[in-house]
Amino acid sequence: MKNSRRSFLRQSSLLAAGSVLAPSFINSFTNRFQAYNGKRLVIVQLSGGNDGLNTVVPFRNDTYYQKRPQLAIKSNEVLRLTDELGFNPAMSGMRSLFDDGVLSVINNVGYPNPDRSHFRSMDIWHTGSNSDEIWSTGWLGRYLDASCHSCESPHGIVELDDNLSLAMKGERLNGLAMSNPKSFLNKVRQSRASQLIRLNAEQAHEETNLGYLYKTLVETNQSAEYVAQKIKRYKTSASYPQSGFAKDLKTIAELIGSGMETSVYYASLGGFDTHAGQKGKQARLLNTYSEAMKAFVDDLKRNNLFKDTLILTFSEFGRRVGQNASAGTDHGTANNLFVIGESVKAGMFNSSPNLTDLDNGDLKYEIDFRRVYATVLEKWLRVSSEASLKREFKTLNFI
């Protein structure tokens, strides 16, 4: 059969129709992520530097109102959580999680000698390095390296994106990035992966760069096959808000429900760099975040998947205590962080930030973020945290 015009770029097969993968590539044993122990960690990254003080509002603090004459949230609008602190009014979803006793709010999280550049501070959060160190692998990537010596499939960690973030890049192993399983499967199919693997079976074992490319292609194809098999089995009927972020959480819920052996999922919501006109912008973003989280937790609960899921939310830094001249806030330092799950010590984990003892107009951190990572690794994923963090950090008792 001749291919007609217009179809020249059709993704035609390189082999006769009907050819399938070589059996060794669908061997289910090589598809296993051995480190999976039934516990799942979901990480949510708020990119751009979320203003923590207008997220968890110190509504009894005079300094807060003095330093933010236009930006401060009125005490009668705050969704009160304790006598001192309350959520931004856009966060009713998170408020109900707080009321349900599944949310722990950890204040004043940061690291020594904070860096106020987005990308540098984000790198520090992703790698777990000190602020004067530059590391090229991420804390979750090193978790993969350490916990899986014979893994060939990268689906132990799944990021909802098309470019893999540094946090999930290890020395030896990488996580899998896909903005959604269907498009990932299509892409792998379009790349003719399975045919190319058959045609180049020997190449994948070579130590050359070409061998590395084919080896990666084999792994990709295995992951695709694995995801395809799993995802067929489960679809959630729950309704989620319309946002792209909510769609990502819905995808995660479906991947969890399908029984994927994935220990860590990673999703991001961007736009928090509110230098100007912060109030409306941040409220809209926090609402997107909060509504999606509520829908996600409800969905997991309904399907009995919540008890083995822990959700951690962070941002690369908080913002300055005082507002700037454009009704916004500039880059700051320490920030609050949320942990959601049935096993968390719910409520306000520690005291509210001190707004008078500042470092150059910025909050001083009280808890090193790597202690949060260590806690999650040791007490939730149940692995040694030192391999992943390269140093020893004391765990906290929020789990």
Partner 1 sequence: MLSKSQKIQHLYNRAAFGMSVDQFQAAQKSRLKTELKNLMGNSVGELPLTAIAENPFVRLREDWKDKSFDREELKKELNKRIKESRVKLGDLNTQWMEQLTNPQAMVREKLTLFWHDHFAVRSNNGYHAQIHNNVLRKHALGKYRDLLLAVAKDPAMLAFLNNQQNNKRKPNENFARELLELYTLGRGHYTEKDIKEAARAFTGWKFDRYTCQFRFISRQHDAGQKEFMGKTGDFDGEDIIDMVLANKQTAYYLSAKLFQYYVSDQPDEPIIQKMADRFYESDYDIEDLLTYVFSADWFYEERFIHNKIKSPQELLHGIRQHFGLSYEMPRALIFLQKSLGQQLFFPPSVNGWSVGREWVNSSSLVNRMRLVNHLARNADPEIRVKDELDDQGKSSVRGAQLLKTGRMNWPLLEAHLSGMRDEQKLDALIEFLISKPLNANTKRALLSELKKQEDDAIKWLAVTIAGLPEYQLA
Q: Which of residues 362-391 bind partner 1 (CB under 8 A)?
A: none
- Give the separation between CA 235 and CA 231, rounded to whole angstroms: 8
- Separation of first and last alpha carbons in the chain: 63
**241 lines the binding site for partner 1 (CB under 8 A):** no
**242 lines the binding site for partner 1 (CB under 8 A):** no
Segment near partner 1 (CB under 8 A); pick from 50-58, 66-74, 193-201, 293-301: 193-201
- Give the separation between CA 389 and CA 370, rounded to whole angstroms: 7
Question: Which residue in 114, 110, 97, 95 sits closest to 57, CA to CA?
Answer: 95
Segment near partner 1 (CB under 8 A); pick from 24-32, 104-112, 268-276, 331-339: 268-276
The pair of three-digit structure tokens given for residue 302, joined into one six-digit string: 């309904």
Q: Which of 209, 237, 304, 397 is the binder for partner 1 (CB under 8 A)?
A: 209
**235 lines the binding site for partner 1 (CB under 8 A):** no
**196 lines the binding site for partner 1 (CB under 8 A):** yes
Least gap, CB of 329 to partner 1 (angstroms): 13
- Give the separation between CA 331 and CA 276, rounded to whole angstroms: 12
Least gap, CB of 244 to partner 1 (angstroms): 4
CA geometry: angle at 181 spanning 141 and 144, to 5°?
15
161-180 residues in contact with partner 1 (CB under 8 A) are 161-166, 169, 174-179
DSSP three-state, residue 297: helix
**223 lines the binding site for partner 1 (CB under 8 A):** yes
- Give the separation between CA 367 and CA 206, rounded to whole angstroms: 46
**30 lines the binding site for partner 1 (CB under 8 A):** no
CB-nearer residue toward partner 1: 144 or 340? 144
- Give the separation between CA 307 and CA 377, rounded to whole angstroms: 17
Q: Which of 54, 88, 108, 203 is the binder for partner 1 (CB under 8 A)?
A: 203
The pair of three-digit structure tokens given for residue 11, joined into one six-digit string: 């993704």
Q: Which of 54, 55, 194, 220 is the binder for partner 1 (CB under 8 A)?
A: 220
CB-nearer residue toward partner 1: 154 or 341? 154
**17 lines the binding site for partner 1 (CB under 8 A):** no
**20 lines the binding site for partner 1 (CB under 8 A):** no
43-102 residues in contact with partner 1 (CB under 8 A) are 47-48
13 residue type, one letter: S
The pair of three-digit structure tokens given for residue 367, joined into one six-digit string: 């808890």
DSSP three-state, residue 133: coil
Q: Which of 30, 92, 130, 216 is the binder for partner 1 (CB under 8 A)?
A: 216
201 CA to centre of own chain: 35
- Give the separation between CA 311 and CA 338, rounded to whole angstroms: 8
Q: Which contiguous run of DSSP H or E holds residue 335? A: strand 335-340
DSSP three-state, residue 138: coil
**360 lines the binding site for partner 1 (CB under 8 A):** no
Least gap, CB of 258 to partner 1 (angstroms): 19
CA geometry: angle at 397 spanning 371 and 395, to 5°?
30
What is the pattern of x (binds partner 1, CB under 8 A) and - over residues 128-167? ----x-x-x-----------------x------xxxxxx-
CB-nearer residue toward partner 1: 61 or 263? 263
- Give the separation between CA 222 and CA 206, rounded to whole angstroms: 19
268 secondary structure, DSSP code: E
291-310 residues in contact with partner 1 (CB under 8 A) are none
Least gap, CB of 138 to partner 1 (angstroms): 12
CB-nearer residue toward partner 1: 99 or 134? 134
**188 lines the binding site for partner 1 (CB under 8 A):** yes
